[in-house]
C-alpha cells in the first residue's frame, strides 16, 4: 500500500470515530466536515535521542488558518 493512501485512510477512519464518539463536545469547534489537516509527515530518527526529536518537532512552524 502506498504510504500516502495509508495515512489518508488512517485520518479518514480516525476522524469518523472521534466525531462519532465525541460529536456533542466537538460540534462547538468543528462544524466543517474536516477534522484533520490535509498535511502529514513521515519522519525517521535514525536512533536520535527523544529529546533531540522533541526539540525538532517543537521548532516547526504552526499551520496558518
The answer to whether the CB of 15 falls within 8 A of the CB of 35 is: yes
Q: What is the pTM of this model?
A: 0.54
Q: Which residues does the chain have with pLDDT short of 70?
A: 63-65
pLDDT score at 13: 93
In degrees, rounded to 5, the angle at the alpha carbon of residue 4 between the alpha carbons of residues 31 and 44 is: 110
pLDDT score at 39: 85
DSSP per position, 37-58: -S-------TT--HHHHHHHHH
Amino acid at each position: 500500500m502506498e504510504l500516502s493512501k495509508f495515512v489518508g485512510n488512517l485520518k479518514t477512519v480516525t476522524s469518523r470515530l472521534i466525531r462519532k464518539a465525541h460529536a456533542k463536545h466537538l460540534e462547538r469547534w468543528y462544524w466543517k466536515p474536516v477534522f484533520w489537516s490535509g498535511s502529514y509527515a513521515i519522519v525517521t530518527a535514525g536512533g536520535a535521542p527523544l529529546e533531540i526529536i522533541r526539540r525538532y518537532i517543537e521548532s516547526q512552524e504552526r499551520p496558518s488558518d
